[in-house]
Amino acid sequence: MSGSAASSSIPPTMADGMYASTQTASAGPSARGSSGNGKGRSITRSRSGCFTCRLRRKKCDEERPSCKACSKLGLKCDYRTPQWWATAEQRAKQKDRIKDRIRQTKVMEKEGSLKEYMDRIKALAERTPVTVEYDFSRPVFVEQPQPQIQPQPEMFAAPLPTPITPHDANANVSLNVNVDASNVAPTAPLYPESSSSVYSSLNPPEPHTAAVSAPELTNDDWIGDNINYANVPQAVLPATTPNVPPNRALSSCLRYLISVDDCDRRLFDHFVDNVIPLAFPILEAYPGASSSISEVLHSMQSNHSYLRCCLSVSAIHLKTSLGLEDEMDYDIMKHRYEAISRLSRSINHGSGQMQVMDATLAMIFYNCTMSSSDDYLPDIKWSDHFEAVSSIVKTLTCTPSQFNVSLITWIDILGATILGKTPKFSHTYRTKHLSGTSSGLQRMMGCDDRVMYLISEIACLESLKLEGRVDDMTIYGHVSALNAQIEWTEPADPTIEVPYSSSGLVQPTQLTKIISTLFRLGARIYLLSLISGFDYYDPSIINLVASVTNILQCLPAGQQGFDRSLVWPLFITGAHSVPSSAFRKVLGERVVALGYLGDFGSFGRMYRVLKELWKLTDSPDPLSATGAQPHIESTTFAVGANNQLQQPAHERIHWREVMRRNKWDYLLI
């Protein structure tokens, strides 16, 4: 960078006070124009540092992807020439925006809202009810007992379809799982014989006599005996969304129903007209979705924290969809900060539990679906937010709405698979699965509730495995039982068709059938990955990945498609694919077809993790590529029918290690 003053300097009070920590002595040569008194080393301002530090005339440590100065202040760190660098006028405007963001950051630090909120969450967690134990050493769903369930509110009572006999939907998929040949011969087949697949036996590990300790699960039953549902007052919500005349946006009908400042009107209109349809594509496909949309609008009207969260997310979407640099950062953080501040006060006072839960769920879900893959602004981890939600749910004296029940279940189950932990409400899902009770997941996110409940069980099993609380023989038995349960969720009619009518209208039943099939395949891959000696090159895994690739062809690609509703199964499939798999090529093409949405929200983050994972696992020497000691998954030789090795043994880095190393606290749903 030249020494010319392209724009005015930051005022001395800010430069000397706020950033003294960034101006440290350097052993390098003196910067141009620095004092040469010879009594000390002057500051070196690197000409190869980020453009933000160059504009601020600060030393840059050049760390990637974001230098320490930008990370500390929540500023966008650009190493490539940004648009605002083109002219002196644009640089001056950018400097003003940076000043505003710095002032905003300092105010947030002074008031300590983020830290205060975290303290409140920890205090809530400490007041959670006493835990109960579940014996995971017993068979999983073998006898399908029908427990006595306490009377439940109507929202919990929607029955699931009765399980039917497995069929041949995936007759071309053979789940032959091969492990190290040194293992003892199997004493029983891993999977039951069925007409749908040709199952071979898996060599189980040596049986052990050590007892398996039962995991401690939380007292998470939302259908507790202490609630008299007949006397629970129901929230008064609009029956439907306002009738919108043709060629008029919904926001125009809400102008006098929901009050916002004039400066925020654009953000409000954009959220209602653009963000809501993007956030709930499956819900929008079903007739009668207006009741759920009206619940969102009612929360915006009556819950100030919820409204502020929505305005913040709207600014995020505007920034990404318009390809802006950091022009919207001030609005994003202003509303995010206000929402968290109000939540902290509500939690501190112990009031408005339902409103706190609504707003916290909004912060988790909307940020997850709308944030960019390289979000650099300060925020709270989704898992910390969900700690608050789970703590509140366990102490509620009234029932959450069906909308919230579905949202909590969706986040809890898939979030647990990302963290490698037991879902917070796993016992509730287990009870619901046995009693055939729906959580409304199929209408909200497209997957059959029963498949989601089984994914919860798989997450429980993996959690115990990671904690070392079950041996390989126990895992082997549970994999067999859970695989049989997945069989029972297959539809009676295996036909997969394009989910559009001849007139071009979406057929929600066919759409959710395809989505459920993809989640079911993802669940199978996830389940089989828990077996000791799991091999990515096993023909059964390759066939499962190929099945996902084939079924994807039934869904149109692009922004009008439903790829963004398939983040979890696409992620699990991609994480267990091999370099030669056609899945990677097909996924890349669909990312391109999505345009800016391909690098947006959970979908963009999912693809970012996969690309990094593939880069490391496809490398001949992943250790040399990273320079760090990663968490390694063992991959053994696959043994063919002729007892000859088909694939050389190698090691793979687990995708959680990739996320941990890059500090990617993503919720991939």
E strand or H helix at 632, and its extent?
strand 632-635
Task: Write the pLDDT tens digit of every residue in 171-222.
Answer: 333 334 333 322 322 233 333 333 233 233 333 444 443 333 333 333 444 4
Asked if omega into 539 is within 30° of 0 (cis), the reply is no
User: In whole angstroms, what is the distance from residue 280 CA to residue 288 CA?
Assistant: 13
* pLDDT given at position 92: 86
- Positions in the chain short of pLDDT 50: 1-45, 130-242, 622-632, 634-649
* pLDDT given at position 517: 97
Beta strands in 184-288 (DSSP E): 216-217
pTM: 0.72
* Residue 38 backbone dihedrals phi, psi, to 5 degrees: 75, -5
Tokens of 7: 């724009």
Nearest to 53 by CA among 42, 40, 68: 68
Task: Write the pLDDT tens digit of every residue in 74-131.
Answer: 788 888 888 888 888 888 888 888 888 787 777 766 665 666 666 666 665 555 554 4
* pLDDT given at position 371: 85
Q: Where are the domains of the chain?
A: 12-105, 112-141+234-397
Tokens of 398: 């009234």
Check residue 491 and report its DSSP letter.
Answer: -
Which long-range contacts link 397-402 to residues 24+ away (Cβ below 8 Å)? 397/227, 398/227, 398/232, 398/233, 398/354, 399/153, 399/155, 399/156, 399/222, 399/227, 399/229, 399/232, 400/222, 400/354, 400/357, 401/155, 401/235, 401/295, 402/155, 402/440
* pLDDT given at position 659: 95
Nearest to 444 by CA among 406, 482, 417: 406
User: In whole angstroms, what is the distance from residue 50 CA to residue 67 CA?
Assistant: 8
Check residue 64 and report its DSSP letter.
Answer: S
* pLDDT given at position 222: 45
* pLDDT given at position 80: 84
* pLDDT given at position 243: 52
- Report strand pairing: 632-635 vs 650-653: antiparallel
* pLDDT given at position 198: 27
Nearest to 366 by CA among 265, 290, 271: 271
User: In whole angstroms, what is the distance from residue 349 CA to residue 346 CA?
Assistant: 5
| C-alpha to C-alpha distances, 396 to 121, 227, 353, 361, 391, nearest whole angstrom | 16, 9, 7, 15, 9
Tokens of 663: 């500090």
Tokens of 405: 């029940």
Task: Quickly list DSSP for 312-329.
Answer: HHHHHHHHHHTT-SSTTH
